Each structure stands twice: as structure tokens, then as C-alpha cells.
Amino acid sequence: MLTVEGVAYRYPGGDDVLQDIGFRAGAGEVLALVGRNGAGKSTLLRLLNGLRKPARGTVTVAGMNTAETPVHRLSQAIGTVFQAPEQQIFHATVQDEVMFGPRNRPLSPAERTARVDEALERTGLSDFAREHPLDLDQARRRFVAVASVLATAPAALLLDEPQRGLDAAGTARLETIIRQEQTAGRLIVLVCHDMEFVARLATRVVALSQGRLAADCAPLAFFADPTLTAAASVEAPDLMRLATGLGLPPVLRPAAFAQNWLSRPASAPAQQVSPCD
């Protein structure tokens, strides 16, 4: 689905922002892209969706080389929710905004309407269809961007910090959407600074450090390795820090923690280990 080989990029007049990036990702993966501010995550997403072309190396999406394929063709395979959703909102109503993708697809009017209605329903925006998107609060604006991408049913979704600014209900809604899209066989690339969110959803973590690949592994292996988390400037999720603080194996799921806790050796009672912070 997605192949990145030897990719480097620099903005005009600047230094290299990305160097020697390579990875592959396939259907049904939730690939978390992590790293400190300025590490190059959003730039990499713009290389994946073809808005920027690599200075060196190649990016291939659904068999299309991004350097040789017009963005509008790439956008049929790959949809992006940008870090600032305002940058992708152009229409005067939520309905028209979400209809933009389906209108440019070979679909019947009934299919287009069905796509829009479903996307609005899944994002909690059905009652806001006639509102101006920029009159909505930040969370709903973000969901307008999410709905617009869902309505195009792309093979891959790129989500740049989609959970930022969402309350618990919004985060849960977003989580449900991501899981549904994963189950439907889409590839999801999730840029995220919230490691609890990453730990719940990611099937894989790719970390960038100063524009280079610092890790590409399973979430458990990533978070359990302090060298990797330090390179990406992230902290392991609370549950893992609790487990390791108690001298138990590193885990990301409460059920695994409970099992390890209940089967811990009798010689290591809880009161003899130092509490973790």
C-alpha cells in the first residue's frame, strides 16, 4: 500500500528536514508516527500524500509514484486530515465541504448523498450540516475534516494530530472511527503526541528524530526501550511505567498488567518495591 525508500527532503532554501527515510506499510495497520516538535512528521505526511515531492528517494502509494502522479489522482487513494483543519476547509456549509470528495468521484447522486450522510453521522455532525464549518468549535471543525476524508473512502488515511483539542467524548468517537477504518482494511498513519492514544491504537510505531528514522517496531518494543523513547522525546504510557516500576514485565494493556500482577512471584510483594512516579 505504502512504500517509502531512501527519502530525503528539504524546504527551499533550508537544511535537510528528512533524510534516508524508508518503511513500508499495508492495509489494516495503524502506524503511529511520533517524534518531538519539528522532527519532520507533518513534512513526511505531505510527502506521503504527494503535496511535496522527495528530493531523493521514492514514495509509492497504492502503486503510484507520488513524484509522477497528480495530487488529485493520489487523493483517490489517500486522504489527509491536516494538523490545522482550517487549512482544508473551503466551503460555506459542512454539507458542501463533506460533499466535495464524493462530487469528484464517479458516483450516483444517491451514492454521494449516502456517503455524506454516513460521514456526518459517524462524526456527530448530522445536526450541523447547514452550519458554516468555521462557525463550529475547534473539535467539530476537526471532525468536518475527518468527515470529508471518510466520505472519499480512501485506501489510506493520514491523520495529523487528530485528537488534539478533543474532549473525552470526542476522543472516544475518533478512536471508534479509527478502529472501524482499520477493520475495513484501510491503512492509517497517525501523527500523535499523546502516547496513551498511541498505545491504545497503534499496531506499529515509527519514530523520527531530527529528520531520521529512530525506530520502526511494535508499540510494546518501542515503549519498553528507553533509548528509543528518549530519541523520540516521548514517555512510555502510565501503565507501562507502573508495571516496570513494580518490577513486572512491560505491558500496554490493563488485562496483561492484571494477569502479571496476579501471577507475580510471592517473593516480590508490592510493598518491597519502590513506587514509580
Instruction: Show Cβ contacts of residue 162 under 8 Å, excluding neighbours closer than 6 positions.
Output: 81, 142, 146, 174, 190, 192
Q: Which is nearer to ligand ATP, 181 or 194 (CB)?
A: 194
The only residue of 35, 162, 219, 237 in contact with ligand ATP, by rule CB under 6 A: 35
Q: Strand pairing of 212-217 and 204-209?
A: antiparallel
Q: Which does 88 bind (CB under 5 to 8 A by kind): ligand ATP, Mg ion, none?
A: none
The only residue of 1, 2, 7, 17 in contact with ligand ATP, by rule CB under 6 A: 17
Judged by CB under 5 A, does residue 42 bind Mg ion?
yes
Is the separation of the CB atoms in 52 and 9 below 8 Å?
yes
Q: Which does 90 bind (CB under 5 to 8 A by kind): ligand ATP, Mg ion, none?
A: none
Subset of 147-166 contacting ligand ATP (CB under 6 A)? none
Place of cell 530519541: 231
Backbone φ and ψ of 176, nearest 5°: -60, -45
- Residue 166 C-beta: closest distance to ligand ATP, Å: 17
Instruction: Show Cβ contacts of residue 191 under 8 Å, excluding neighbours closer than 6 positions.
Output: 32, 33, 34, 41, 42, 45, 83, 158, 159, 160, 161
Judged by CB under 6 A, does residue 19 bind ligand ATP?
no
Instruction: Show Cβ contacts of residue 90 under 8 Å, excluding neighbours closer than 6 positions.
Output: 97, 100
Phi-psi region of 22 (alpha: psi -120 to 50; beta: other; left: phi over 0): beta
Subset of 81-140 contacting ligand ATP (CB under 6 A)? 83
Specify the stretch interacting with ligand ATP by CB under 6 A; choose among 10-18, 148-156, 213-221, 250-258. 10-18
The only residue of 37, 183, 227, 272 in contact with ligand ATP, by rule CB under 6 A: 37
Which positions lie near ligand ATP, rule CB under 6 A?
A: 11, 14, 17, 35, 37-43, 83
